[in-house]
Structure 1
Amino acid sequence: MKLQRQLGLALLIQGFGVVATFLVSVVVSRRFGPEGQGYFSTYRSWIDLISVLGLFGFSQALTFHINAGRISARRAAGLIVHYGLALAALLLLLGAFGGNYLAQATALSLRDVWLMCACALAMVLHGLFRAVALSNSSPLLFNLITASPGLICLPLIFFLGIGNDFTILPQLLMWSFVCAALCASAEVGRTAGFDLRGGGALGADCRILMKEGAWSFIPAITTTIVPALTFWMLARAAGSHTEAGYFGMSLLFLNAMVTALNMVAPVLYNHWSKKGNGAVAQAEYEKLALGCSLLGILALPLGWLALPPMISMVFGAGFAPAGASALCFIGASFFWLHNRILPPMLMAQGHHQSVAYANIVRSVFIVLAILVLRPTSARDIALCWVAGEVCCFAYMAYCLKNIFSCSYGRLIGFPSALHT
């Protein structure tokens, strides 16, 4: 299937999942207010952090090595089963011996910590089976697998998340992720099967994945640790989840801006990393970069006019204070958009380390800014995030410029605008 058709299919099907995820936040905000939205966002950030720790970059490594012919899809599926059992045992030990400490550190209940571990395990399995499906299943089924968490979560929260007690949300999240993981594993089992060999073969295959996965793990962990720290700091400083709710709502608008690129990034990486796509990949990248630049330029005036009334209309008047932080994100969307297409291109060229270092730069900058300045409002936190994103963009653009030996203008889609 041509790249254009793959991208179109990804946007169409995964778009339903993204809309469902957005509607989940709308339902939570409408029913539970800023406090409930803040609790929900904080809880999700911890789940994301633990799941990224569990994934360890293996999803990108699986796709890379399956495409390169170094490992079969059947063998990859078997490795996932072995790894899932080991990770489940590790999370059980974590909950048994560190559950109380985690509950105290995250300001959550012990029950929520156990549910958080279950959610993280399901997310890891879903992500790994999804990576195998990317290389082995039809684009239609891969996109359905990708969209499944949001599509399952929406009806659960809409019909069961009633009343004023938002502490039911962790349980509903767990069931949605478990169902999504089961769907992904069933598809991989149907198309590839499971090679469950152990012994020396297991160790050799794991070493292959760990070598490549480590460089994908670093940007992932640095990216997810920042939201967890952000929501934790806001909740601690304000004594409630309200300010975190404002910030979480602002992130929804940012995610809406970059969601299309997030959906197609795995497809781009899968396409660009295949042999013989070098010159074609560069030309395709420059076209995407031009679109990102134009959209980023248009975002600021459109956001300034549309965001304030949209926030009150969709989420309720109680979320009006979130407008300032949302405008910070939308105004800097140029950098967020480009930072979604730079990583798949760099990794497709074999420069996983460059993406890792760029994300380290961003995360270290944001964390230091938060710890030194100690911002207590969603707007001030958003400004720290914007500064970190600019640093990340500058580093990755510099790396890709050296790889392509081209001007910075070509990297943002304007070959005659800027020169080396």
Structure 2
Amino acid sequence: MADLFGSPATADSDPQQPAPNRPLADRLRPQSLGEVIGQEQVLGPEAPLGVMLASGSLSSLIFWGPPGVGKTTIARLLAKETDLHFVQISAIFTGVPELRKVFEAARIRRQNGQGTLLFVDEIHRFNKAQQDGFLPHMEDGTILLVGATTENPSFELNAAVLSRSQVLVLERLSLADLERLTQRAEKELGRALPLSGDARDALHEMADGDGRALLNLIEQVAAWKVEAPLGREALSNRLMRRAAKFDKSGDEHYNLISALHKSIRGSDPDAALYWLARMLEGGEDPRFLARRLTMMSTEDIGMADPQANTVCLNAWQTYERLGSPEGELALANAAVYLALAPKSNAVYVGIKAARRLAKQTGSAPPPKHILNAPTKLMSEQGYGDGYAYDHDAEDGFSGQNYFPDGVKRPVLYQPVERGFERELKRRTDYFANLRAKRNK
């Protein structure tokens, strides 16, 4: 499968198929690493692969990135640059018997003086036992492994495989990269695409950073017989926009909810609406979003605006009653409210500190003066002795100690000078001063 997109194919092409009839992506397959568009952060002279090739020492690699950014092509060209035999397999279609044959062929090849670059597409699809099967062949030099994955290797690949490989992140192609690719395609086709400048931009947006998708779109556009260049609207009517990348159970799911959370924490309602919309358009369950918005109201806003939690719960309930799409507006209202609300994580920080203290103090009992004494024996043990009833104290505050004996009084809740918590800070300071006076 072709990924990227260089000059027209050469003698490595299929001689049985005339060049003009081959798919455009195959005809534009790069013949050297220098022809690859994009990925300078990996291929540049001072980038990881550039340094490895210059030093003549190539290690096993894991390419992590979205579809259509050059993972397969770069692996193939690495084998060419290093005179390694290129073998490509897919984890989706390869089982243990096929892997054994691959390893045996690589072993024989090595005995005959040639190494093997084994490219494993969708390597995260292999289970733990299958991934472990690569280790001895990597260690003894039978294969140089280059794996490709669209999922986060930290979660999907064994630690043992990761420890023997370098993870390289390949990025979605920029609009400038896609324009360069379009120009190469036009040169190969021998004519310009029948598109206005605005429509050309729209074509690049439709590809969504995927070079292979762009070449497929270009091939469709180039086949049209039109009398004048098409505008954006006409192009959109003729072509279906590529669905935005979103996996409700994968890495992108967590990336986008993180973006939404950070936008709300950063008090940016426009960004919050954008990421909320991205997830809804990607098919995310609105109930998941309602739950996460409610969590944000307690974690990032807390007592700075106690109403925020109520707004989120009401939005959740509204969605449950209206459903989609009408109920999604309630979630948008909640997202904007949270973004513009005063922020405080004082309670969040306080409860985490309290839990750490609870673990440290173990089973330390409450002080006896705040324990009830419903039996004679408990009274004889001193339960309740010396308890000061706060309502009878001056200012309704006794200032007694409520922490276990021997535990130094901590300050766990430290309200901020924002929103309603400004008032709570005034109150905590007031009681702290009273307590200091009572305990002199």
Q: Identify the structure with the greater helix proportion.
A: 1
TM over 0.5: no
TM-score, with normalisation over the residues of structure 2?
Answer: 0.22
TM normalised by structure 1 equals: 0.23
Larger RCO (CA under 8 A, 6+ residues apart): 1
Which protein is bigger by CA-based radius of gyration? 2
